[in-house]
């Protein structure tokens, strides 16, 4: 027996009607969540600015070339704006960000924003397809295996499931990519080895990216499904004696989505980062190849721009996940406020 | 020291701006020396918050909490040490002892803390072991229980040890927060009898928080009724029970199921 | 079972064996491979470059004529050491980061937590890339980058674990005693979060190994002439069209090493956090040994006058590999039409289990059996697992249930109205519209104000009492002849409790609905019910009318002792309260030999 706090009167803030706009839990949640996004973006941009400041050596010298004469280095320094005080540079960096001016690539002399705009679509394509595939597959499979093995039923299935997802889960995306290339492109010649052309060229990069995450997330979804199935409200639903489709679809799934999405936000972030590795294997013309080249070529403005791009993409996905979350389950928004 | 604990227009609010929630709303109430004051009210009425404010687990937003004329609200340093003369016993016997430490270790911690509070030398381990034994004896448990882990004790036994831990700190006031509501009714009496006996022997004052009016009626000298953060009625227990003034008190007493 | 015993047990399983083999192999190559093959793997041999697999070089040679297999074995050292170093640094930093908010407390603590949360949002690989920009491309920089990237994640894990411990009463008790915060963290928090942190560190080490290989693969980690698995992979992948071995051999090494850390984590998990890891094998074995609950009578005589009649009910839980622990033993009872029967007992007496098995809501691993059960004119056929499947069609029509905690019993993600209307659509053949109208009527019946508007609200927008009313409204969608209620007022305040009891009483009087009411509170039961069943340690020890119980006519010594202990508004204030000693045992039913029995610990 436990004495849990319950209020006897009409609960306060019932949906927030007839209250000030800032008292509406939805609005206040969105405000807070938006604030968090803004702060995170601020941190991201500031850190990427700081990144270049912390690099040992002289960016102007690197940009002008090792052998360049001192005047040329100074001229370059002025061009890059590196002769100004750091705080001015910082503010200019922000100003540039809002006007879409992220500076210019040292090696190619192209505006960074143009490089990102031309290469980002390829990255976004495989990232978003893989994210969608991962979410759909792991929620379906996780729920299925959760239902099959609930209450310690079917231990054999559980062993198989745990083993398979355990092994697949440790295979990192770059290894999955290499293995897939070897078997399906080199050996069986079913799909292109590399590059971005027709539909078939998408299969391997997307699968390589999604495989490990799907295995990991499916395990989590199953654990969450078992957790939801233990809840009292599922017992209530079972006491009503409904068919499994309604039980799992209507009573279990919404609650499962809540907890799964909460957890998966982080995983999706690391999938976005995983594109860097996968793109390098499949010579995919996205930003993943570009960032590695630009680090090795010490092309710092480009590195900066790409890091901001990836970082904001991750933050944006997290934001979307959270907004989807409160539309599915309004309680989350209220609990936090 | 006269063991008096007084709350003077104490408020506790949570949150800021529009979502402010007032858990305790300018409460004026005093636990007189050597009495057991009952505090009843429904869940969420602010009973526990009031107690937690007195021991510093929650910071009061305004008002004074006087332990024998010393304001212990927001206490730091020497005053915070003084505040340790108020001890608390909690509701849940499952979580009131560190599952990784023996009963003896938990009691020993209280003894050491009490010595440090009084700025006396911490007695040697051997002496403390004897004190632990006598504490266990005081709550009618064999001395060997010092070696046991909390999980090996029943809920009633654990609550008795929790009382022992509170008295190990040589308190002036004990705040007992629903100490038997998680227990079976059959062992409830053993814990409450113990608290009353020790109170009579040692003379500390008790704030007895409970939602069970029948228990409060037996245990307490006076009783205060809280609702929505405010104290709406205070009086001698029997007077309040037999001729309640506030409507809510009447409702509360009317709702008590009878055998 | 102690951790040592569990360790021995786990190591005997296939999983444990694999983990041991993996760990020792990894350890062996880490320590000795460079000593044994280091020289050989370093020497270039221009005569034998890019050779295919042969007897001499089982996986062929690389671009400098070096044996790929031996290079992979030698690379173990750098790969594993770097991963472990990064993990150690990351874990240590994470633990400090996670505990810091507790020690500083207040605003500073909140900022640290916010910082951790922002750090977690950024993927580790991205952070690692950023750091390798600052620190240059080197193995040490990559390891440091991985360590730093690990800190927010591990910090958050530590903080979540620590915060949940921090909320427990023993921490409050220590704070009230005045134990310094750092001492509380070291003495009470760390030991209680240690085990999951260790388990997670093993898994984290696997991730670090893979991440480090990834950075080296990108050319951002180990640089020539040194080599780790990622570097070898980098060199091998360009030749994948010619021969797969140079890429696949280090690749397989990465997977095997990663798996070893995962297995280690699993084993540690089973040893250190057994609550969350139950042994699968023991469960398989258990399935074959069902508890032996031989029927005491053949075709038990149910009372066909009753609305509910149960004979010789047993519920058992698996105790260990082969044995079952009885929770309910041989309980038989009847509920007459229109009667309110109460069932009381202490925690663990089996009263709720009895009710749940009647409703067919006991799930494995618990096992139910009974000789016979009868509900409203129908003999129920019991399935081998004890489930009265014949009851299924009665739910929502002739049988209703109310549970203890109305918050957790209502689905938080569904509107209350939908849940109330559901039985109408499921069992009464109502359309959506009809079910909604009926549900609003029922919500009105149980006195929910503004039922029409509140139909569309979610459970969290209801108060505790209203939730319980809504549960009851759902049960009244049909025309139940029996309501099964499991501690329906325990989570409610006394005034709300009184309202719910009145509601149930009213339904009973108006509709003649029988109620079986389970509660730990004898006062509640006697005030509501006409007859009382008393449960004690899994047995039904008393079946008595409320009037007789009030008048002290109870037969069983336990019932008598229990009645003594119930405080009432009439109890004498000057006498000590009665209580049942810890070691009392009423199992024999004889008060004189209430033997001293070892106190059974709670949980």
For C152-201, what is each residue's pLDDT tens digit? 989 999 999 998 899 899 999 999 998 989 999 999 999 999 998 998 99
- Residue C491 to residue A314, Cβ atoms within 8 A: no
Confidence of residue B150 (pLDDT cuts 50, 70, 90): very high
> Residue B23, class by beta-carbon neighbours within 10 Å (0-12 exposed, 13-18 middle, 19+ buried)?
buried
Average pLDDT over chain C, rounded to whole?
Answer: 85
Name which residue leads in pLDDT, C79 or A1. C79
Is C523 in CB contact (< 8 Å) with chain B? Answer: yes
CA atoms within 13 A on the CB side of C200: 19
How many C-beta atoms lie closer than 10 Å to residue A332's C-beta?
20
B138 in a domain, yes or no? yes
Residue C534 phi, psi (nearest 5) = -110, 125
Place of tokens 């706090």: A5
Chain C interface test: which of B72, B196, B257, B258 (most C C-beta within 10 Å): B257
Angle between helical axes of A200-229 and A173-180 (0-180°, round to 10): 130
In a domain, C123, yes or no: yes
Q: Which candidate in B19, B177, B178 is best for mutational testing of the A interface (most A CBs within 10 A)? A: B19
Span B96-124, average pLDDT: 90
Per-residue pLDDT, A198: 83
Chains that touch A (3 or more CB pairs under 8 A): B, C
B165 inside 8 A of chain C by CB: yes
More confident residue, A276 or C239: A276
Give A235's contacts in chain C (Cβ within 8 Å): 361, 403, 409
B97 touches chain C (CB under 8 A): yes
Asked if residue B259 is part of any domain, the answer here is: no
Q: What's the mean pLDDT in A109-114?
A: 89
Instruction: Please check whether residue A187 touches B, CB under 8 A.
Output: no
Give residue-wise pLDDT tens across range C460-515: 888 888 898 898 898 888 888 999 999 998 888 888 899 899 999 999 999 899 99
The residue range of the domain holding B101 is 5-254
Mean pLDDT, all residues of chain A: 82
Q: Is residue B78 part of a domain?
A: yes
Percent of chain B's residues with pLDDT above 90: 69
**A332 pLDDT higher than 60:** no
The 10s digit of each residue's pLDDT in A142-168 is 999 998 988 777 888 888 898 899 889
- Considering only the beta carbons, identify the residue of C494, C565, C566 that sits closest to B252: C494
Q: What is the CATH number of the domain that holds B223?
A: 3.40.50.300
Q: Which residues contact B161 (CB under 8 A, 6 or more apart)?
A: B97, B103, B106, B107, B136, B139, B141, B145, B150, B153
Q: How far apart are CA C58 and CA C39, in angstroms?
A: 18
pLDDT at C51: 77
Model confidence band, residue B231 (pLDDT cutoffs 50, 70, 90): very high
Whether the per-residue pLDDT at A337 is higher than 60: the answer is no
CB contact under 8 A, A11 and C462: yes
Of B149, B113, B119, B117, the residue nearest B131 (C-alpha): B113
> Over pLDDT 70: what percentage of chain B?
98
Q: Are C208 and C150 in contact (CB under 8 A)?
A: yes
Phi, psi for B148 (deg, rounded to 5)? -85, 155
For residue C248, the model assigns a pLDDT of: 87
Q: Which of C219, C280, C403 sits opposite A155 (nearest CB)?
A: C280
What single DSSP character describes residue C367? E
Predicted confidence at residue A334, as pLDDT, reads 53
A28-83 pLDDT per residue, tens: 788 888 888 999 899 889 988 888 787 777 777 777 777 778 888 888 788 777 78
d(CA A122, CA C247): 26
Give chain C's domain count. 2
Q: Which band of pLDDT confidence, cut at 50, 70 and 90, is reported for residue B196?
A: very high
Classify residue C139: in a domain, yes or no. yes
Average pLDDT estimate for B109-117: 89
pLDDT-derived band at C386, boundaries 50, 70, 90: low
C386 vs C533, residue with greater confidence: C533
Render pLDDT for B27-37 as a digit per residue (tens, 0 to 9). Answer: 999 999 999 99
Percent helix, strand, coil in chain A (nearest 5)? 75, 0, 25
Q: Residue A19 pLDDT > 50, yes or no?
A: no
Q: Is A242 exposed, middle or buried (0-12, 13-18, 19+ CB in 10 A)?
A: buried
Beta-carbon contacts of C470 under 8 Å, excluding residues fewer than 6 positions away, are: C406, C410, C416, C419, C420, C443, C446, C448, C459, C462
Q: What is the full DSSP assignment across A21-45?
A: GGGSHHHHHHHHHHHHHHHHHHHHH
Chain C nearest CA to A41, separation (Å) = 9
The tens digit of pLDDT for each residue in A274-321 reads 899 999 888 899 998 898 888 888 888 888 899 999 999 888 888 888
Tokens of C31: 């320590």
Q: What is the pLDDT of residue C283?
A: 53
- In the predicted structure, residue A257 carries a pLDDT above the cut 90: no
pLDDT at B6 over 50: yes
Least confident of A232-236, A331-335, B44-48, B68-72: A331-335
Rg (CA), chain C: 33
pLDDT band per the 50, 70, 90 thresholds, residue B175: very high
Determine whether A85 is exposed, middle or buried from the number of CB atoms within 10 Å of its CB (0-12, 13-18, 19+). exposed
- Which residue on chain C is closest to A259 by alpha carbon? C413
What's the structural domain count of chain B?
1
The last residue of a domain, from among C237, C270, C303 = C270
Q: Which tokens belong to A180?
A: 């897939």
Domain that holds residue C179: 71-270
Asked if residue C507 lies in contact with residue C481, where contact means CB atoms within 8 angstroms, the answer is: no
The bridge status of strand C514-519 relative to strand C340-344 is parallel
The helices-and-strands tally (H runs, E runs) of chain A is 14, 0
Query: For C401-441, what is each residue's pLDDT tens digit?
Result: 888 887 888 888 888 999 999 888 888 888 889 999 999 99
Of A8, A151, A331, the CB nearest to C460: A331
CB pair distance less than 8 Å for B95 and C170 = yes
Q: Please report the pLDDT score of residue A24 as a whole number.
A: 67
Domain boundary among C270, C290, C309: C270
The set of long-range contacts for C264-268, using a CB threshold of 8 Å and a minimum separation of 24, is C264/C19, C264/C22, C264/C23, C264/C202, C265/C199, C265/C200, C265/C202, C265/C203, C265/C206, C266/A166, C266/C15, C266/C19, C267/C10, C267/C11, C267/C15, C267/C16, C267/C19, C268/C198, C268/C199, C268/C202
Structural domain contains residue B246: yes
The answer to whether C178 contacts B81, with C-beta atoms less than 8 Å apart, is yes
Distance between CA atoms of residues C175 and B211, nearest Å: 25
Of A3, A8, A22, which has the smallest distance from its Cβ to B181's Cβ? A3
Query: Residue C191: its pLDDT value, please?
Result: 92
- Counted residue by residue, chain B has a size of 259
pLDDT of residue B1: 62
Contact with chain C for residue A8, Cβ under 8 A:
yes
Please give the pLDDT value at position A184: 86
Give pLDDT, residue C20. 92
- pLDDT of residue A201 exceeding 60: yes
In a domain, C386, yes or no: no
State pTM to two decimals: 0.84
DSSP for residue C51: P
Please state, as a whole number, how many other Cβ atoms lie within 10 Å of the Cβ of residue B9.
12
Q: Cα(A71)–Cα(C197) distance, rounded to whole angstroms? A: 56
Q: How many helices (H) and strands (E) are present in chain C, helices listed first?
A: 22, 11
Radius of gyration of chain B (CA): 18
Average pLDDT over residues A161-185: 89
Q: Are C154 and C100 in contact (CB under 8 A)?
A: no
Answer whether C410's CB lies under 8 Å from C471's CB. Answer: yes
CA angle A24, A26, A28 (to 5 degrees): 70
Total residues belonging to chain A: 337
Contact flag A22-B211 (C-beta cutoff 8 Å): no
User: Which residue, A11, A258, A232, is CA-closest to C458?
Assistant: A11
Contact assignment for A5 to B18 by CB distance below 8 Å = no
Cα-only R_g, chain A = 25
Distance CA C142, CA C83 (A): 10
**B7 pLDDT band (50/70/90 cuts)?**
very high
Does C224 reach chain B within 8 Å, measured CB to CB? no
pLDDT recorded at residue C600: 33
Percent of chain A's residues with pLDDT above 70 = 90
């Amino acid at each position: 027996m436990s004495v849990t706090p319950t209020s006897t009167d009409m609960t306060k803030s019932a949906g927030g009607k007839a209250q000030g706009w800032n008292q509406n839990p939805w609005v206040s949640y969105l405000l807070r969540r938006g604030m968090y996004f803004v702060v995170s973006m601020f941190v991201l941009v500031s850190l990427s600015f700081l990144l270049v400041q912390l690099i040992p050596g002289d960016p102007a010298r690197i940009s002008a070339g090792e052998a360049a004469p001192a005047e040329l280095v100074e001229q370059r320094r002025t061009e890059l704006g590196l002769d100004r005080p750091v705080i001015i540079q910082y503010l200019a960096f922000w100003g540039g960000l809002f006007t879409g001016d992220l500076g210019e690539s040292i090696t190619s002399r192209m505006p960074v924003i143009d490089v990102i705009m031309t290469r980002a679509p390829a990255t976004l394509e495989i990232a978003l397809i893989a994210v969608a595939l991962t979410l759909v597959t792991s929620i379906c499979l996780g729920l299925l295996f959760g239902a099959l093995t609930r209450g310690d039923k079917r231990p054999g299935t559980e062993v198989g499931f745990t083993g398979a997802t355990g092994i697949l889960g440790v295979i990192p995306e770059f290894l999955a990519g290499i293995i897939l290339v070897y078997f399906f492109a080199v050996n069986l010649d079913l799909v292109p080895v590399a590059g971005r052309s027709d539909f078939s060229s998408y299969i391997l990069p997307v699968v390589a990216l999604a495989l490990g995450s799907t295995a990991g997330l499916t395990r989590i979804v199953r654990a969450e499904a078992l957790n939801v199935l233990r809840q009292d409200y599922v017992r209530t639903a079972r006491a009503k004696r409904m068919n499994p489709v309604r039980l799992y679809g209507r009573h279990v799934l919404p609650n499962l989505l809540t907890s799964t999405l909460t957890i998966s936000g982080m995983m999706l972030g690391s999938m976005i980062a995983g594109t860097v590795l996968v793109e390098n294997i499949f010579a995919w013309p996205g930003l993943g190849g570009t960032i590695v080249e630009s680090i090795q070529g010490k092309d710092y403005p480009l590195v900066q721009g790409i890091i901001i791009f990836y970082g904001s993409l991750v933050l944006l996905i997290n934001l979307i996940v959270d907004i989807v979350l409160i539309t599915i389950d309004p309680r989350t928004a209220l609990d936090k406020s | 020291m006269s063991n008096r604990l007084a709350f003077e227009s104490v408020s506790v609010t949570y949150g800021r701006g529009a979502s402010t929630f007032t858990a305790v709303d300018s409460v004026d109430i005093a636990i007189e020396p050597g009495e057991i004051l009952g505090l009843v009210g429904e869940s969420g009425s602010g009973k526990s918050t009031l107690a937690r404010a007195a021991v510093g687990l929650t910071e009061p937003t305004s008002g004074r909490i006087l332990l024998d004329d010393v304001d212990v609200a927001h206490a730091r340093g020497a005053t915070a040490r003084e505040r340790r003369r108020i001890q608390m016993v909690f509701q849940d016997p499952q979580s009131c002892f560190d599952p990784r430490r023996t009963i003896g270790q938990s009691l020993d911690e209280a003894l050491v803390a009490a010595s440090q509070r009084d700025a006396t030398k911490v007695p040697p381990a051997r002496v403390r072991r004897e004190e632990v034994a006598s504490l266990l004896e005081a709550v009618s448990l064999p001395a060997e229980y010092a070696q046991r882990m909390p999980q090996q004790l029943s809920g009633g036994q654990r609550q008795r040890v929790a009382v022992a831990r509170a008295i190990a700190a040589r308190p002036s006031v004990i705040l007992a927060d629903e100490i038997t509501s998680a227990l079976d009714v059959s062992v409830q009496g053993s814990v409450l009898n113990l608290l009353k006996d020790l109170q009579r022997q040692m003379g500390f004052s008790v704030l007895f928080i409970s939602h069970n009016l029948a228990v409060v009626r037996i245990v307490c000298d006076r009783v205060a009724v809280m609702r929505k953060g405010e104290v709406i009625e205070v009086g001698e227990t029997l007077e309040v029970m037999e001729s309640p003034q506030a409507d809510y008190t009447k409702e509360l007493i009317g709702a008590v199921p009878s055998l | 079972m102690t951790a040592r015993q569990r360790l021995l047990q786990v190591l005997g399983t296939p999983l444990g064996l694999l983990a041991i083999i993996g760990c020792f192999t990894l350890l062996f190559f880490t320590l000795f491979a460079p000593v044994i093959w280091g020289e050989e793997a370093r020497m270039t041999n221009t005569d034998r470059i890019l050779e295919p697999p042969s007897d001499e070089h089982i996986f062929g040679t690389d671009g400098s004529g070096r044996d790929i297999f031996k290079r992979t074995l030698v690379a173990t050292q750098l790969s594993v050491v770097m991963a472990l170093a990064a993990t150690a640094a990351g874990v240590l930093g994470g633990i400090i980061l996670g505990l810091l908010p507790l020690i500083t407390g207040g605003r500073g603590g909140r900022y640290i937590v916010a910082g951790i949360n922002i750090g977690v949002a950024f993927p580790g690989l991205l952070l690692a890339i950023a750091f390798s920009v600052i620190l240059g491309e080197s193995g040490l920089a990559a390891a440091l980058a991985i360590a730093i990237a690990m800190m927010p994640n591990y910090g958050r894990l530590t903080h979540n674990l620590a915060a949940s411990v921090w909320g427990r009463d023993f921490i409050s008790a220590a704070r009230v005693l005045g134990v310094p915060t750092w001492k509380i963290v070291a003495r009470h928090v760390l030991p209680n979060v240690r085990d999951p942190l260790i388990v997670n560190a093993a898994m984290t080490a696997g991730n670090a190994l893979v991440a480090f290989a990834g950075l080296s693969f990108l050319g951002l980690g180990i640089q020539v002439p040194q080599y780790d698995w990622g570097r070898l992979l980098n060199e091998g992948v360009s030749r994948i069209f010619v021969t797969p071995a140079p890429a696949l051999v280090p690749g397989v090494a990465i997977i095997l090493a990663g798996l070893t850390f995962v297995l280690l984590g699993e084993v540690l998990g089973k040893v250190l956090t057994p609550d969350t890891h139950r042994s699968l094998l023991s469960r398989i074995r258990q399935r074959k040994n069902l508890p032996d609950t031989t029927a005491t009578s053949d075709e038990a005589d149910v009372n066909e006058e009753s609305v509910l009649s149960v004979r010789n009910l047993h519920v058992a839980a698996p105790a260990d590999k082969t044995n079952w622990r009885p929770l309910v033993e041989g309980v038989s009872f009847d509920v007459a039409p229109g009667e309110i029967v109460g069932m009381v007992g202490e925690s663990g007496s089996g009263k709720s289990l009895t009710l749940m098995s009647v409703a067919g809501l006991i799930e494995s691993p618990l096992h139910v059996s009974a000789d016979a059960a009868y509900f409203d004119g129908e003999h129920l056929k019991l399935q081998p697992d004890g489930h009265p499947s014949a009851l299924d069609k009665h739910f929502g029509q002739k049988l209703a249930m109310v549970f203890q905690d109305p918050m957790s019993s209502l689905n938080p993600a569904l509107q209350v109205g939908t849940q109330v209307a559901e039985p109408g659509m499921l069992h009464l053949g109502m359309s959506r519209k009809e079910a909604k109208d009926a549900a609003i009527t029922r919500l009105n019946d149980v006195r929910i104000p503004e039922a029409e508007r509140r139909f569309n609200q979610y459970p969290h927008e209801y108060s505790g009492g209203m939730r319980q009313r809504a549960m009851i409204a759902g049960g009244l969608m049909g025309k139940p002849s029996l309501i099964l209620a499991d501690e329906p007022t325990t989570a409610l305040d006394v005034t709300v409790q009184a309202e719910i009891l009145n509601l149930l009483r009213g339904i009973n009087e108006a509709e003649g609905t029988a109620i079986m009411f389970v509660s730990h509170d004898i006062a509640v039961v006697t005030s509501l019910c006409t007859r009382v069943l008393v449960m004690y340690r899994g047995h039904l020890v008393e079946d008595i009318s409320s009037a007789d119980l009030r008048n002290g006519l109870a037969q069983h010594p336990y019932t008598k002792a229990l009645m003594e202990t119930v405080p009432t508004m009439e109890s004498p204030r000057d006498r000590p309260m009665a209580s049942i000693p810890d070691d009392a045992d009423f199992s024999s039913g004889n008060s004189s030999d209430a033997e001293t029995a070892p106190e059974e610990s709670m949980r």
